[in-house]
A and B are shown apart, each in its own frame.
Chain A
């Protein structure tokens, strides 16, 4: 395991300058996710119209992996249908656990989180935002 597989330039850039950071004032969907073991805390809020995500934001605090993952995820889900998002989140979980080979193009920037598979203790950090998103769209 090499640190440069995990702390890539793109991850550190998203961590230091997160995209879509903040709260949507009147979201149609929102949820809070908390990682008990390390205290990472995330709030995901969405505007969903006709089953499509029009806007997505996140707030909260946590480690570089959880914050970069949320930043990349909120970029990625905008314009996608809820069904597409459910499929994407499953593919994301497989990727960060190192299952099912190389990730496809649909993962977009999220491919930079592939290195997490070599650091099993950090999988929970990478998936927190996605689990929180799934909770939000279930509501």
Chain B
């Protein structure tokens, strides 16, 4: 159950309330607000335990190292990874996906090899592959999306060949809220001898994730989209694959021995840990995971889905609205357009009512073209939103429609 007073865990809401401008935050797919517990953890770390990790020979550094490594274990447990060593800390899901593309793709792909993506990818699972394809001569293919905004697995089956080396898909679409059948996609990829990569930026915060059940070889997620700080993310990688990969970045921490012209590397995850890591970020991520796990991911999922369904029904009453959301598996993400009112204008009108939404292409330009729109407006809900936010959104949208209603004077012209 999501507590009625859950908003009070997040200080940003009382701050704006006290300034007489209550915040209705509907942009959690971009980044989530932070509970006090996560914010205080950062302060506590810097005021009590700050030291560099893995290299100090004194007690404080050992404490910092222990709590940093506890965060890795926590992240592993959160997605049911088989061991903490299969978790690499990164800046965010984007860096996690780039790490795979460079450290695995650049060294494993040859000319003519194929990587299969989908038509609903975020730029972070497109552009790294564009770069790697240009370097290696690999070919990119796409799983098609059907009219109900679901991936068409028949088109995946048709695209899989002996040349397919990787299938990389988004778990939950940041535009459509579609939950993709990544377990089935992974099974098909493995059957064809390809590895399976899952972009979990929008799934880890919202639904229970079990990478062993999915069976995927890589899973990427971001801390800031799940109540954690910005600048911390993680990549799960199957350990035997990580062991065969080249480093992503070179420097301190990731080495075993260094000579003037050569070096050899530490074992994973440290192969991929060049430089002082984001220690406070990892500890903040652990606090965020503790917070979400206490509430329960299953409960968060159910709450958001029912709020998403409620919002989709309520918004459907707005004149001229088009909602891009599947009928069956949507989360709390609702993208829409309204006839004669541009998404950017909608966003400005909503902003004047204290409602924060996103308008634009959502880092998914190919998907926008597929939907035949230049941009959409997007409201994305999280555990601190409720039906009153939906009501405020719907009535502000009705106001947008009335501001841009066709003028009678123009009909006469």
Contacts and interface: CB of A to CB of B under 8 A. Distances in A.
Interface stretch (A19-27, A59-67, A78-86, A102-110): A59-67
Given A7-B403, A12-B403, A122-B348, A39 B413 contact: no
B406 A16 contact: yes
Contacts of B359: 38
A42 B348 CA distance: 21
B360 A38 contact: yes
B361 interface: yes
A13 interface: yes
B228 to A, nearest CB: 25
Contacts of A119: 348
A3 B368 CA distance: 28
B30 to A, nearest CB: 13
Most-contacted residue by chain A among B344, B348, B403, B404 (CB, 10 A)? B344
Contacts of A125: 344
B410 A62 contact: no
Nearest to B403: A7
Given A37-B360, A39-B361, A3 B413 contact: no
A12 to B, nearest CB: 7
A58 to B, nearest CB: 16
B360 A63 contact: no
B352 interface: yes
B344 A63 contact: yes
B91 to A, nearest CB: 21
Contacts of A122: 344, 348
B407 A13 contact: yes
Chain B, interface SS category:
mixed
Contacts of A2: 352
A117 interface: no
Contacts of A121: 348
B374 A39 contact: yes
Given A38-B359, A63-B342, A6 B407 contact: no
Nearest to B376: A39
B374 A16 contact: no
Interface residues of B, number: 22
Contacts of A12: 403-404, 407
A34 to B, nearest CB: 11
Given A7-B403, A122-B348, A39 B368 contact: yes
Contacts of B375: 38-39
A37 B352 CA distance: 20
Interface string B317-348: 00000000000000000000000101111001
Interface string B365-380: 1001000001100000
Given A12-B403, A12-B404, A64 B345 contact: yes
A13 B410 CA distance: 8
A37 B359 CA distance: 9
A64 B374 contact: no
Contacts of A6: 348
Given A7-B403, A64-B404, A16 B410 contact: yes
B349 interface: yes
Contacts of B406: 16
A61 B374 contact: yes
A62 B342 contact: yes
Interface in B53-89: none
A6 B90 CA distance: 42
Contacts of B349: 3, 7
Contacts of A16: 340, 404, 406-407, 410
Given A3-B352, A7-B404, A62-B342, 6 more contacts: A12-B407, A15-B404, A16-B407, A38-B360, A39-B360, A39-B365
25 contacts: A1-B352, A3-B352, A7-B345, A7-B403, A9-B407, A12-B407, A13-B407, A13-B409, A17-B413, A38-B343, A38-B344, A38-B359, A38-B360, A38-B375, A39-B360, A39-B365, A39-B375, A40-B344, A61-B374, A62-B342, A63-B342, A64-B345, A65-B345, A121-B348, A122-B344
Interface of B: 340, 342-345, 348-349, 352, 359-361, 365, 368, 374-375, 403-404, 406-407, 409-410, 413
**In the complex, the 10 A-B pairs of residues with the closest C-beta atoms, listed nearest first:** A63-B342, A63-B344, A39-B375, A39-B374, A38-B360, A38-B344, A64-B345, A3-B352, A39-B361, A63-B345
